[in-house]
Amino acid sequence: MPPVAVPEEPSKKKLRVAIIGQSTFAAEVFKLLQRDGHEVVGVFTVLDKGNREDPLATIAAQNGKPVFKYKTWRVKGKVIPEILEEYKSVNADINVLPFCTQFIPMEVILHPKYQSICYHPSILPRHRGASSINWTLIEGDTTCGLTIFWADDGLDTGPILLQRSFPCTIDDTVDSLYNKYLYPEGIKALAESVNMVANGVAPRIKQTEEGATYDPALFKPETHQIDWSKGGLALHNFIRGLDSSPGATTFIKPQTKDGVDKTSDANIEIKFFGSSLWEAEYETEGDKLFITGLNKPAVVHADGLLITANDGVKLNIQRLKVNGKMINAQNFFKGRENKVSLDLTAEEKQFIEKARDVWKAILRIEIENDTDFFASGAGSMDVVRLVEEIKDIADLELQNEDIYMNTTFEDFYNAAILKQRGGSSSKEVIYDGVEMEINKMKIKFPTQLFINGEFVNSDGGKTTAIVNPTDESVICKVQAATATDVDRAVKAAEKAFEEGEWSKISARERGQLLFKLADLMEKHKEELATIEAIDSGAVYTLALKTHVGMSIETWRYFAGWCDKITGSTIPISHARPNKNLTLTKREPIGVCGLITPWNYPLMMLSWKMAACLAAGNTVVMKPAAVCPLTALKFAELCVLAGIPPGVVNIVTGSGALAGQALADHPRIRKLGFTGSTEIGQTIMKSCAASNLKKVSLELGGKSPLIIFEDCDLDKAVKNGMASVFFNKGENCIAAGRLFVEERIHDEFVRRVVEETKKMSIGDPLNRGTAHGPQNHKAHMDKLISYVERGVKEGAKLVYGGKRVDRPGYFFQPTIFTDVQDNMFIAKEESFGPIMIISKFSSNNLDEVIRRANNTEYGLASGVFTKDVSRALRVAERVEAGTVFVNTYNKTDVAAPFGGFKQSGFGKDLGQEALNEYLKTKCITIEY
């Protein structure tokens, strides 16, 4: 029977309407009838569930309408006389049955002048009965719909008043059909039908029996049982047909990843939800789950539970209810459920209390954190109401499954907050880690790889010992990534970029997430600085201010850029007689790889990753093998901030293995590297050979600092020392050569030596320490060798040059003078606290600039002079990406940073850094 198409018309006559039914659906019908001017003279609904009344009763009472609540209308098949008389007393013109679970006697159905109209969620006569939507999906129908019919003494057999049909796809579920069509369109159709009755244009089309079906109600447990002998498409349809409630059910034997427990006679009840047909060509790797009736074991994998039907068709299941507990299917074999609590903002705390009020209004009980929505009497229509009310109070689009997966109030608000932040609504943070009491605080950090939002062990099972440079003790062992692990991380990042939540949120929402991440870093700054100190040897106070402090500033700076990345319109020649419009778009590159050094572990991560994520990319990052701990702690904070799974991935391990795998990977489109020039050259070759990926390199330096005789000497001494000894000399822009004008040379050296002797060397956690240990033993050994070569070549060692006689990798601040330009220490970077001083004459400005530029490096430089013209001439001619005038080490998140020549190319920080992680697309339109 084709749908009856009737134009919507306002009612010319106002009817007295009795609404018989329940639920939010019926309450919305009430609103529309009131809007159209009809008088609702009575509402007949179900009894309260505990203290909770039906939404229809609530809205009727709020509008001053009579409300009648009945347990039943009949006893032994006959209408209850008192109820019939009470019903007749409202004197209705028509009964409207929007959603009615009770049997209404014919004495009531036929009593009004216009009798009764009823809503049914199918295209009658197909799928008569109480479970019509479920059968629409179970039967694999490609069309669904709704019918408004005149009620009679049959079950859904009365004449048709109005019908609407809608497409039904292979991916639809009961919830999706209700949300897209049957709920909103059904409400409007009922209101329209009442108007048609009032206007005298409502048809009564007798139902045909051709194609009629009457499908049994799916209430009994035996109707939910899965028949595994059926083909994959039939299984998919059955599971999605029962998706909302009660769930397609089967029983399995107890089992672990290692197999079935054959000693147990117990059975585990499993309900399946979120089925989709699996179209991937490759075999999925995971743990086997044995289901009786299937020829092939199912596979628990990263994206769910993959089932291969006996006809070879595959379907993937997203969620399971195991013995009454709903879980993500990929977590079936995970026994631990340690959840990290959220750090809540003031606004989020306000949201929780508003949400608590919504729950209280629905359930009519006091709401505690462990109150269970469904155990307290909620049904599927209450889920719809909860979703809609949360949308109203928080402008947050929840899905029904968010409620089914998080049934207690605490789980619900955590899931809602994570989703509002843009993250996964049910993400568990589980990791093997280390807890320590140190620096007058408790710290905790992971030791596993971070892939697709989870901390996991490496494929090879190997670990790397992380040594505290202060006392040479082993802090912990960290998982060492293999090429397989890197590939897993890249696939996760690619999926997040192309399909995940990250690809769907707006640029402004992306910025909000990065701001939240910065706030969390601020909250944990003392913990991060402590980890940085024990892991890299950074002095705690410096780590707090620079390593961590500048990292936080970087994230906030680039969070502000997220919604300000724009293209342009360009005037071009027209193709007469038509016109042309050309515009450009700035788009993210895709999956980016980042490899960072060991001198500023968290700050180098932040300098690169903040710009990368602000541009909309996803990332796989490899921190330095010797100090990865703050990167792993940062990964934990990403989860707490709601960064979606796969957006940030951290793979720890060696550069030769994990780093090389990043450079070689064909799915990585951009690689950012900070490290030595030698490794940078290798990486650039690999990037070119693999897939010609975009590269930015921040490499070695031998930065010149020129100090003229007219300088402020106090300031020059202070900044000269900082230019070399800052962060123990483990500083990429450290002044590798100081050119001091000959007339002040001796005084400068005397004062520098005097001040250097005052530097306190010791435990970096001691607030009075100025100089901590070098990062690791190999580096300290290199510094000792570097000094020995300088002495051998004839440079004058005026101070330091030795390892400090104490445990730990402590190296004395060192000063060389009489250094000639051809010496090894004049040409090669020490990357340590070694000051190299040479003389020059200011009578020959060209000569000192030539000497300053006589290097293949060009990262930074500095000049101290009171002569502005001279300072500008030096700044103009020196070959370096950064020039400091009467200061040094003054970097800022808004100022671009990067080198020339063999110090690399590309910029970190500032607006220019975004260019490293964006591509420009040109679009030309003719009109």
Binding site for (6R)-10-formyltetrahydrofolate: which residues?
102-104, 156
Known catalytic membership, residue 922: no
- Is 912 strand, coil or helix? helix
Distance CA 500, CA 423 (A): 10
Catalytic annotation present for 120? yes
Q: Round to whole Å and give the CA distance between 72 and 84.
A: 11
Report the amino acid identity of residue 334: K
Pairing of strands 918-926, 580-588: antiparallel
Using left for φ > 0, alpha for ψ between -120 and 50, and beta otherwise, residue 762 falls in: left
DSSP state of 727: G
**Spatial CA neighbour of 749 closest among 811, 829, 838, 812:** 838
Please name the residue ranges forming H helices in 447-548. Answer: 483-498, 501-504, 507-523, 525-536, 540-542
Beta carbons within 10 angstroms of residue 573's beta carbon: 7
Residues recorded for the chain: 927
CA-CA distance, 448 to 646, in Å (whole number)?
15
Return the structure tokens found at 917: 């992680």
CA distances to 57, 350, 744, 747, 754 from 750, in Å = 90, 62, 10, 5, 6
Which residue, 592, 628, 624, is CA-closest to 608?
592
Residue 845: closest CA among 870, 825, 824: 870
Query: Would you give the DSSP letter of residue 563?
Result: G
- Please report, as a single letter, which amino acid is at residue 518: A
Residue 511 CA to residue 893 CA, distance in Å, equals 16
From the candidates 38, 120, 665, 745, which is the catalytic residue? 120
How far apart, in whole angstroms, are the C-alpha atoms of residue 187 and residue 321?
Answer: 32
Structural tokens at position 311: 């006809």
Beta carbons within 8 Å of 868's beta carbon, 6+ residues apart: none
Q: Residue 24 carries which DSSP code?
A: H
* Catalytic annotation, pick one of 454, 501, 698, 916: 698
For residue 548, give Cα distances in angstroms to 443, 619, 628, 803: 15, 20, 14, 28
H-type alpha helices, 642-761: 660-664, 677-690, 713-725, 745-757
* 222 Cβ neighbours under 8 A, 6+ residues apart: none
Active site residue 732: yes
Say which residue the tokens 């039943």 belong to: 72
120 token code pair: 């049914």
| 3-class SS of residue 7 | coil
The one catalytic residue in 168, 562, 612, 732 is: 732
Task: Evaluate the omega torsion of the peptide bond into residue 246 and state whether it is cis, within 30 degrees of 0.
Answer: yes
The answer to whether 615 and 594 are in contact (CB under 8 A) is: no
First to last CA, the chain: 45
CA atoms of 720 and 749, how far apart (whole Å) = 10
CB 159 within 8 A of CB 149: yes
**Is residue 30 a contact partner of residue 187, using CB atoms and an 8 Å limit?**
no
The token pair at 796 is 């004058």
Binding residues are: 102-104, 156, 655-660, 675-676, 782, 829-831
**Contact between residue 194 and residue 38 where contact means Cβ atoms under 8 Å apart:** yes
Cα–chain-centroid distance for residue 202? 52
Identify any residues that bridge with 94 across adjacent strands, giving them in sequence order.
17
C-beta atoms surrounding 261 within 10 Å: 12
Annotated binding site for NADP(+): 655-660, 675-676, 782, 829-831
Q: Where are the alpha helices (DSSP H) in 816-924?
A: 824-827, 845-853, 868-877, 910-915
- CA torsion angle 233 235 236 240 (round to 10): 140
**Catalytic machinery residues:** 120, 698, 732
